[in-house]
Structure 1
Amino acid sequence: MTEFKPHDYQKKAINFGLDHKKCGLLLPMGAGKTVTTLTIISLLKLIDTEKVLIIGPVRVIKSTWPEEIEKWSHTRDLTYSIIAGTPKQREKTLQKKADIYLIGKENVTWLVDNKYFDFDMVVIDELSTFKNPKSQRFRALRKVMPLADRFIGLTGTPAPKGIPDLWSQIYLIDQGERLGRTLTQFRERYLIPGRRNGMIVYEWKPQQDAEERIYKKIGDVCMSLDQADCAKLPPVQYLKKSIELPQKAMTEYHAFKREKVLELDNNKSLLAANAGVLCGQLLQMTSGEIYKRDQLGNKLEEVATIHAAKLEALDDLIESANQNPVMVFYYFKHELKRIKEHLKKQKLEVRSLENEDDVRDWNDGKIDVLLLHPASAGHGLNLQRGGHIAIWYTLPNWNLELYQQANARIYRQGQKQNVTIYQIIARGTVDEDMLNALEHKNITQKALIEALRR
């Protein structure tokens, strides 16, 4: 049990959440959003709030929130029930009397459709997972949000791909009062069509002054902070580990790229849609293995091995860690199998992140190398106690949110040591273009396509 001593920025966030019945706390990753929100809930329980629903990624709902509730002296008396499992099991957990009900975002539609929504406060952990206005979970939740007296949306990356992502998130706060009650209204006010084919618009871009106008509109219900305003974290350095692919591999890489780009050019209207697929294939080639395809172009589970250059670089980095635990981010399924088999031959304790036991063992120092896919290493997962070195074996295919969220697993509040994050980058390949785009937050379709042109 630990006493909570909030930092100044956390005090501001707590007061903001108490003063605003419905709001967004857009706090940087690793800023302690969970304990801040639990503090707000514990204070509201004394005033006007009885039944709280917290929605989030399944792993975070099952581990991070319960751990945080039980960790702090001022929240440990809060009772909670985790809504998970089969429909009957979920119904049973809903019947249990508790202060807080925790549910994975995948079950929100079930909750609403079965008329189980009777909460006077809703918290969404990682509000950006509701950025798609066409998703079933957004459509379900928008129906019942007027029934809740209070709402808090938490995220460190509200618009990883730009302001077109904001409408549905802000709608859950104010039911369209600030940015428009429909997506069409929002687009008319703040966006212009980008890529299109006749009447079909594939991409929306912000109007010239849209960002400034939007921030003024939502400033009264959203609180944001810069990382510099938060608790001081230890230094972090991002180091590029450049490698040369074997000549044969580079020849195959350029031939494959040239052939596929020419193939895409034959149908320019499909270029943008297929560019991401091609980048993924090129990333596999720099990784060292690529999925084989049948005569119709369908992906097979079997892979073709091209080179071992990244495996060798990984060995070098793990050796230079001097027996410190290392976290390795992979992107393709075949990489997980290959890396795990390779490192286990070196008598290392290698584990992929599968469940809460792996999280606990990593934080307890029982794992030498922890393999994570960035999609499973996001939002609220606390891994900072287990190590301070991370390696990107393959970057996450132009996904800035995955990149930032994964890095924040070890570079976050509670980290005591200097953090080093390596990226293994093959020279003269899409690896370099992607790293540059991620570092400069230039994750646009244009940047992707330009990378293929070079």
Structure 2
Amino acid sequence: MLFAGRRSRARVREALDAVRSAVADAEERELPVLFAQASADLLRSPGSPAEAWVDFELRSAEYYSLLAELSGSGPDRDAAEGFLPAGIADRVRALRLDDTLLRVSLRGYQAFGARFALAQKRVIIGDEMGLGKTVQAIAALAHLAARGETHFLVVCPASVLINWTREIRARSTLRAVPVHGAERVTAFADWREGGGVAVTTFDALHLLPEGAAAEVRPGMLVVDEAHFVKNPEARRSRAVAGWAEQVERVLFLTGTPMENRVEEFRSLVRQLRPELAPSVSTTHGAAGSRAFRRAVAPAYLRRNQVDVLAELPALVQVDEWEEFGAEDREAYGEAVASGRFMRMRRAAYAVPGTSAKLERLRELVDEARDNGLKVVVFSYFREVLAAVGDALGPDVFGPLSGSVPPARRQELVDAFSSVEGHAVLLSQIQAGGTGLNMQAASVVILCEPQIKPTLEHQAVARAHRMGQVRTVQVHRLLATDSVDQRLVELLARKDRLFDAYARRSDLAETTPDAVDVSDAELARRIVEEEQRRLAGDTDRA
């Protein structure tokens, strides 16, 4: 370079500056970590082309999001970071997330959400339905556990307590301890002694030992469906506030867009950041969602699907596990004793007023309404759809059933699709599962698992098809210790690779029953298993 011309030296310096800039940008985007993950995980040699395809299908979100991040073609960073002011966003990005105790790969926006909760300490994550608020919370807990924290507390509606417990165990190595029901005192003592993540309900929280919050001081308090505590005078709100006062880090989760409910937001943020509440004005909501987000940025992060669509899988499937109430359990026991398989399958809706499944369905529909999303509810049984219709009110469309002429079915679907914003369509899975296009819907609720897997696949395909512009969320309502659990377990034993291939074969396209278990055989096995199980429970009692 000593003997190079002035112009050549200038070009070399420009090239060096460009390299330094590229390296700095790569480090900021954590590309070395991403490349290491890719080489160790996604780029490992598959056993066969078939296994490679199945792995891609099962983890397409991970492939697509990693490729997007590596190529720089992911979503706009400001949008994925909730349009936070630069100072806050920089502070969040500077925090390195410890994922050693996680069992799941996070999308970029999910990792940012977990870091936001950790960096800002007392916040609300209000991501749109289906973006993975639960896994972001678990990632934050896992980070703190890796850094030495031992106790955490999750408060949620009873309808999602089982899901939280399962998700914690599936997505991390953390110990989950349900603190609920008749055994809550024993479970709480176990958690206090052994640590882990205690998962309790709003109604059970105030029943925990007085002074426990000050004694245990969890590393983080997570409150799911935080809009449940918007009324500061309610007992559940006072119980949450009592714990929040004793905990340094508090994370509220809600899918309700707070810019439309500024008074509710002010009530929630008062529990987290009292100093911020007076500065939250109704004019912020009126100014639009981005203006609102910037005004409340220290305590609020929300991303919509459109913000992070490039990182989302095309299909999000969630198993919603619920526990029988006393009346439903009695109805289920009678159905099992009589050996009536179909009655067992719909027993969770036998007493609509106390049905845990129906309560969870209402919550899912309410959240979809808040986000302007259309919902299709499928069930095999007309009686179940009637109960759902009664619970949701007269504005639902349908139900579509075998007794409805095909032309009328299409009219109902067209009317449902033409509604601006939220709407609900009810359909028997046999009638609406084939031949109709429902891509206006982006939320699908299956009231019970189906005997034939192809029935579920075909029903979901009504919404998840060409023309669909949103991620489709599929929620399957399941009851623990019931025919649902037996059915899911039995179907899961089928060879996964064979299923994946069979569903794509010409044979499967023309004769879908070819890959399904015999109805009669499956029903007989499940009835016998349930009769033995319940008889054993009675003997032990």
User: Which is higher, the Rg of structure 1 or of structure 2?
Assistant: 2
TM-score tier by shorter-chain length is 0.3 to 0.5
> Which of the pair has the greater relative contact order for Cα pairs under 8 Å at 6+ separation?
1
TM-score calculated relative to the size of structure 2: 0.40
